[in-house]
Each structure stands twice: as structure tokens, then as C-alpha cells.
């Protein structure tokens, strides 16, 4: 028998109130979170808790649907090398979220499992259900109310496992929530919902042209202090953001967030070449950037997501 479950995480502010959830069906799911954590910690914790809650079924394969390439790569590609290096990366720096990763490493020992990447926010039923519950848990911590934690893993005979309930309570961002109930919060907004009162909104005035707003946001995104603020960067980058870097590397939103979290980099000067409106909800910004690495020609596609302009695609080419 194969157990198919989606695992997802959410953070309101990233870091900020955070939640995680895994979901098999409406009668078999679990969620939790912390007052302060990151989206990646939520994604990892959802996977860890799923392994814990199915530990009594070691012969059954876990088919884990996940929209985080960071999580999939961490567990399936990078973790063996990290372990050999004493949980350090190739550059010698400590691995992020090492406590959760160590526990995942222990939990998957002897288990049969496989990961499948699914695109987030794309209408995949199980992924959307896990995302809703993770977001609801984060919202509960934001509002200071009890988390709706779900029934846990329930087999066909209706017996729920107590594996998660027996897990020891620990301090810090990897502590799972206890079994509590709360009002239904599954419709609450998250980081990528419409931001009617975005505290970070560019002060360009209500009549500012989209081209001016996008240029201001691009300049903000190039600043080191903005890139060091993962919460703000998470607001500016579209959930499906991709970039083709100056080296030719293809970056996803997950990989970009990981990279700038570790190294925000230096600032760059921006010289706009053109700003072209593409319909009413997209602006293509083309410019020359000048930084420590030299001059590059860049283009950014910004799209209107609800009331917030977000960067959907970026490409850079070194200037000869």
C-alpha cells in the first residue's frame, strides 16, 4: 500500500508566525506551527511530522507531494553530503535548519518513500488542502488563538496514531503544537494574499503610474537591506518567480530566497532604459545595473497580484 500525502509550510512575514501541515484527505491530516519561524522550517516540519505519524507503518511507502524544491533537494540530494561534512555545506558554513533535518534523517531510516514536486498555488487538490491548513496554523499564531491541529493519521479502521502526540515537546522553532482545536481559519489570508494595507507599499501616491511604482520596487529590491529582510523579499517576489542569472543559472523562488538569506550581497546602481506597460497588469522594466561585479543589462517582468506588484521574471546578462 502507498500513502499519498501533500506536505506544506507557511510563514506570515518569513520569518514570522509560521505553520505546517500534511494532508491525505479530510479525515486524515495534521497541522501545527510556532509563533516565529520561516517558510522552509514549516515545509521541513510537515515532512518530519508525516514520517512520525506513519512510523507504525514501516512497510508502507510514503508518496510525498511537495512544492518546495529546497525540501526535496535537502532530503534526497544534499543531506548525505552534509552528514559526511558534519552537517556543514561545501563552503564550510553550518547547514540551515539542521535540527529539523537531523530528525528527518533519523525518521526516514528504514522507510520506503519518494518525493514528487508539484507546483504550488496551481490548483492541485492535496497541495492546496495542505497549504490552507499550514496557512491557517500560521494565522492562528499570528492572532494568538488555538491551532486547529487535525485528527492525525487515521487508517481505514478509524484508529488514529498517537505517534505525534507522544513526540517530546522542545523549545525553539521546531516544537510541534499540541492537539488543540480552534475556529475554522482556513480562509484567512497569507503572505501572498491581497495586501490591502501593505506596510511595505511604495509611497508613490494613489495616482502614481504603474511604471513609476515598478521602478521604485526594483530599486528597493536591489538594496542590501531589503534583500536581508526575507519577509520583505517574500512580498516582492511572485510565488512563481523565476530568474535566469548572469551566469546562465535558472533560479526558482525557493533557491533565490535561500541564496539571499545566506548572502544578501552588495547594492547596485540602476539606470533605466525603458519601462513598458504590457496591458493593465504587467510592466516590463529594462535597465543597466552597475555593481561590484561590473555592468549588466537586465530585464524584469512585474505583474499586479491583487493590489501588490510582484516580480514574476528576471534576466541578467553581463555587459561586454
Instruction: Please state the separation of Cα 226 from the chain's center in Å.
Output: 18
Q: Which grid coordinates are listed for 169?
A: 515537546
Contact 15, 9 (CB under 8 A): no
The residue annotated as part of the active site, out of 13, 33, 43, 103, is 43
Largest CA distance in the chain: 68
Residues sharing a CB contact under 8 Å with residue 195, sequence separation 6 or more, in sequence order: 201, 235, 306, 307, 308
Residues sharing a CB contact under 8 Å with residue 205, sequence separation 6 or more, in sequence order: none
Sign of CA dihedral 244, 259, 301, 238: positive
Q: Which grid coordinates are listed for 59?
A: 512497510
- 190 is a catalytic site residue: no
- 43 is a catalytic site residue: yes
From 204, 220, 203, 190, select the one nearest 120 (Cα to Cα): 190
The residue annotated as part of the active site, out of 27, 81, 116, 121, is 121
The residue annotated as part of the active site, out of 9, 33, 37, 120, is 9
On the CB side of 266, CA atoms within 13 Å amount to 8
Work out the end-to-end distance of the chain between its first and last CA atoms, rounded to an integer number of angstroms: 58
- 157 is a catalytic site residue: no
- 121 is a catalytic site residue: yes
Pairing of strands 61-66, 113-117: parallel
The residue annotated as part of the active site, out of 131, 190, 215, 254, is 131
- 8 is a catalytic site residue: yes
- 238 is a catalytic site residue: no
Long-range Cβ contact pairs of 292-300 (< 8 A, separation 24 or more): 292/266, 293/246, 294/318, 294/319, 295/319, 296/246, 297/273, 300/214, 300/218
The residue annotated as part of the active site, out of 67, 132, 254, 305, is 67
Please give the positions annotated as active site. 8-9, 43, 67, 121, 131
Amino acid at each position: 500500500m502507498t500513502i499519498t500525502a501533500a506536505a506544506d509550510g507557511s510563514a506570515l512575514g518569513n520569518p514570522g508566525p509560521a505553520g505546517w501541515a500534511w494532508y491525505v484527505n479530510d479525515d486524515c491530516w495534521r497541522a501545527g506551527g510556532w509563533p516565529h519561524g520561516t517558510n522552509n522550517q514549516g515545509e521541513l516540519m510537515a515532512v518530519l511530522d508525516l514520517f512520525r505519524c506513519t512510523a507504525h507503518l514501516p512497510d508502507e511507502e510514503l508518496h510525498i507531494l511537495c512544492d518546495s524544491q529546497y525540501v526535496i533537494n535537502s532530503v534526497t540530494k544534499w543531506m548525505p553530503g552534509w552528514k559526511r561534512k558534519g552537517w556543514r555545506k561545501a563552503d564550510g558554513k553550518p547547514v540551515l535548519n539542521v535540527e529539523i533535518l537531523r530528525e528527518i534523517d533519523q525518521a526516514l531510516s528504514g522507510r520506503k518513500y519518494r518525493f514528487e514536486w508539484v507546483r504550488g498555488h496551481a490548483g492541485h487538490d492535496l497541495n492546496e488542502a495542505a497549504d490552507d491548513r499550514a496557512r491557517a496554523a500560521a494565522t492562528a499564531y499570528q492572532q494568538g488563538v488555538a491551532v486547529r491541529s487535525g485528527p492525525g493519521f487515521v487508517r481505514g479502521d478509524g484508529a488514529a496514531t498517537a505517534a505525534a502526540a507522544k513526540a517530546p515537546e522542545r523549545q525553539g522553532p521546531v516544537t510541534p503544537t499540541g492537539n488543540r482545536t480552534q475556529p475554522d481559519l482556513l480562509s484567512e489570508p497569507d503572505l501572498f494574499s491581497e495586501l490591502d494595507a501593505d506596510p511595505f507599499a511604495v509611497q508613490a501616491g494613489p495616482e502614481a503610474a504603474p511604471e513609476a511604482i515598478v521602478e521604485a520596487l526594483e530599486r528597493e529590491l536591489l538594496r542590501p537591506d531589503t534583500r536581508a529582510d526575507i519577509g520583505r523579499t517574500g512580498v516582492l517576489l511572485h510565488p512563481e518567480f523565476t530568474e535566469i542569472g548572469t551566469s546562465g543559472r535558472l533560479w526558482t523562488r525557493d533557491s533565490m530566497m535561500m541564496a539571499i538569506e545566506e548572502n544578501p550581497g552588495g547594492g547596485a546602481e540602476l539606470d533605466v532604459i525603458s519601462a513598458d506597460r504590457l496591458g493593465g497588469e504587467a510592466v516590463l522594466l529594462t535597465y543597466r545595473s552597475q555593481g561590484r561585479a561590473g555592468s549588466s543589462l537586465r530585464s524584469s517582468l512585474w505583474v499586479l497580484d491583487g493590489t501588490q506588484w510582484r516580480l514574476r521574471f528576471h534576466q541578467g546578462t553581463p555587459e561586454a
